[in-house]
């Protein structure tokens, strides 16, 4: 096949076959151009679709909430178990022996109220009163908060007694011949007992914080919440399901907020 390149219109080059007619040469270039346009159109469509997907992902409310949660500065009290009572009082609970020790030594102030149980493996819980009179409803919620995050949950108990005392009744001075380890304290004087049911709800508050505590308190402060029960599911699996139900939430914070031991989500 004899071919002769022709140059015209500046930079465009066209190769023609001298053995083909003008119509045959034109038809060949028409088909080639048609295929090129089709490929270009498909590539353009793909690029447009991927750009749209990326834009949607970046701008979805869920992604925006997750970004805000990543950037959120944590409050000082989030190192403890915490929630706000339905009356607006801050409740703080120890997570282990170290935080129990820190809670009593550093954060228990005059006019606060301290809760504990007679069962080993229970957290100390403090109602931060800010010098105000604490209502009965908050007292009940603090007692429930205390027992629900105690070993009673893991043991499958439905209720447990908790008592409350003033901060000055909690001391590190042991009886003669006794030793108090980290997180352990002696209680001196009169104690007042409560017997609440073990109940826990978990939710996301208006500031994007994961709050877990008595259902009545969590319902008051969280638009998105769920009640959890004693169960056999792993806390990590339950936390993932809660994040799905809430449409967001920090997974590590959800795991840390759940009671120790097996859990399950109450179905409603």
Handedness of CA 88, 93, 95, 101 (dihedral sign): positive
Q: How many CA atoms lie within 13 A of 190 on its CB side?
A: 1
Q: How far apart are CA 213 and CA 145, in angstroms?
A: 6
What 8-state DSSP symbol labels residue 158?
Answer: S
Contacts of 162 (CB under 8 A, 6+ apart): 115, 116, 117, 122, 125, 143, 146, 147, 193, 194, 195, 196
Per-residue pLDDT of the chain (268 residues; tens, 9 = 90+): 444 454 444 455 656 556 667 666 666 766 776 676 777 676 677 777 777 777 666 555 565 555 455 567 899 999 999 999 999 999 999 999 999 999 999 999 999 999 999 998 899 999 999 999 999 999 999 999 999 999 999 999 999 999 999 999 999 888 887 878 888 888 999 999 999 999 999 999 999 999 999 999 999 999 999 999 999 999 999 999 999 999 999 999 999 999 988 899 997 5
CA 54 remoteness from chain centre: 25
- Token digits for 54? 């990326």
What 8-state DSSP symbol labels residue 86?
Answer: T
Q: In a 10 Å sphere around its CB, with 0-12 CB exposed, 13-18 middle and 19+ buried, how is residue 97 labelled? A: middle
Q: How many CA atoms lie within 13 A of 59 on its CB side?
A: 6
- Angle at CA 76, nearest 5°, toward 86 and 89? 20
| Bridge partners for 205 per DSSP | 222
CA 150 remoteness from chain centre: 21
Q: How far apart are CA 67 and CA 46, in angstroms?
A: 28
Query: What are the residue boundaries of the structural domains of the chain, listed by start?
Result: 18-57, 76-265
Q: How far apart are CA 192 and CA 190, in angstroms?
A: 7
- Angle at CA 123, nearest 5°, toward 110 and 193? 70
Which pTM does this prediction carry? 0.73
Asked whether 201 and 218 are in contact (CB, 8 A), the reply is yes
């Amino acid at each position: 096949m004899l071919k002769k390149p022709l140059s015209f219109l500046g930079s465009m080059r066209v190769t023609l076959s001298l053995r083909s007619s003008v119509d045959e040469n034109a038809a060949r270039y028409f088909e080639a151009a048609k295929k090129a346009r089709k490929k270009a159109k498909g590539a353009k469509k793909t690029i447009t679709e991927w750009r749209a997907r990326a834009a949607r992902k970046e701008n979805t409310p869920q992604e925006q909430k997750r970004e805000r949660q990543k950037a959120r500065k944590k409050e000082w009290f989030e190192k403890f178990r915490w929630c706000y009572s339905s009356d607006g009082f801050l409740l703080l609970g120890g997570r282990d022996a170290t935080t129990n020790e820190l809670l009593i030594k550093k954060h228990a102030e005059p006019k606060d109220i301290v809760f504990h149980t007679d069962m080993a493996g229970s957290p100390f819980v403090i109602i931060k009163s800010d010098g105000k009179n604490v209502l009965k409803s908050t007292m009940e919620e603090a007692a429930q908060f205390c027992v629900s995050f105690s070993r009673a949950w893991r043991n499958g108990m439905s209720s447990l007694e908790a008592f409350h005392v003033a901060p000055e009744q909690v001391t590190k001075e042991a009886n003669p011949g006794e030793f108090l380890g980290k997180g352990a304290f002696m209680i001196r004087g009169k104690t007042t007992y409560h017997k609440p049911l073990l109940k826990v709800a978990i939710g996301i508050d208006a500031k994007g914080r994961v709050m877990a505590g008595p259902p009545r308190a969590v319902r008051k402060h969280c638009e998105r919440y769920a009640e959890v029960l004693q169960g056999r599911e792993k806390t990590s699996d339950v936390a993932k399901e809660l994040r799905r139900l809430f449409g967001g939430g920090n997974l590590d914070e959800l795991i840390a907020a759940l009671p120790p031991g097996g859990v399950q989500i109450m179905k409603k």
